[in-house]
Structure 1
Amino acid sequence: MEALTTSTALVALAEMGDKTQLLAMLLATRFRRPLPIILGILVATLANHFLAALVGHSIADVLDQGWFRYAVAASFVLMAGWTLIPDTFDEDEPIKAPGRAGVFVTTLIAFFLVEMGDKTQIATVALGAQFENLFAVTTGTTLGMMIANVPAVLFGEALAKKVPMRALQVAAALLFLGLGLWMIADLQGWVG
């Protein structure tokens, strides 16, 4: 349960103001078809985050040594700093009309590619390394992405004007920092 709730909270907060959330808003305003956009985000996130969690889980199994656990903890601390750097998305960059592929496939491909190397994908790798339950990590990170992006699709422009993105970024950074410091304290034996 800890893997699911931690993964959900970290990714939902980290996604606020992220380039994939901005992409969700852009797709919603350009195509005005929320259901295929939401389904495209869901499928792209499941695929991307399963692979990321699998990589993290595989690395943790191979490198189950103290230094590696410190590296995972340090990655959470670094993610805290990275979360404070707002993403930008070039709205002038054209998104091609869906054509034959349709809105779903356009969203699926765009989200999968934009998520590559993104902070939420890297967080998923770290979560996969920290927790044994790959299914819970993938479910949690996907749920976190959906919590952040479904409202962006449904209420895009109005939401951007009312939600204090900086406060959400700071909260996400504090969550990453707290998790990283807790892991270090646990490795040092300071936590019971």
Structure 2
Amino acid sequence: RQLEAVACAIGVPLVASNDSYFLDRDDASTHEILTAIGLNSTVSRLRPGECAPPDATFRSASQMQQVFDTHPAALANSVRLAEECGDIQLELGKWIMPRVEVPAGHTPESHLAELAWAGYERNYGGKPEARRARQIQQMELETIEKLGYPSYFLIVKEIRDWANKRFATGYRTPQIAPFCGEVPPPV
């Protein structure tokens, strides 16, 4: 009812929806376990509200009609919205990586390699351990490319760079590992 009032107040059509954390109730226990792992806790220590309720499932059209039987316009708006999205086919179990912007003439693979090798020169150039570090980095870059994760690493770098600019505190302390890995200092 609160969302209905907000939608009406701002002149936005109401859309029938529900929070979906898993496909069906059988997946609720897996959700609890993963939540506990994410919180570095146990299932028995989870507090109310830390997990989605067991009915936070992907609902069928008939289930949505039952839940929103007094809001037929919201159901119709949901159908219209789905139709406007076009024919999207999502394959379960297949990762879809967002597109990452890279400089002209680069692919995500070549841009990640360029950044990595520049960091290698900056952090290992001329040092005794440089040869071994080069071998390790080459193997890591090949593995990242083989698994299809160059975009992922570039996105994480973009987020980290944004956070460094946005939340920079000026806090600096001599630390070798974070410096070499360009890991931001603790806030």
Q: TM-score, normalised by structure 1?
A: 0.24
As a proportion of its length, which structure holds more helix? Answer: 1
Q: TM-score, normalised by structure 2?
A: 0.24
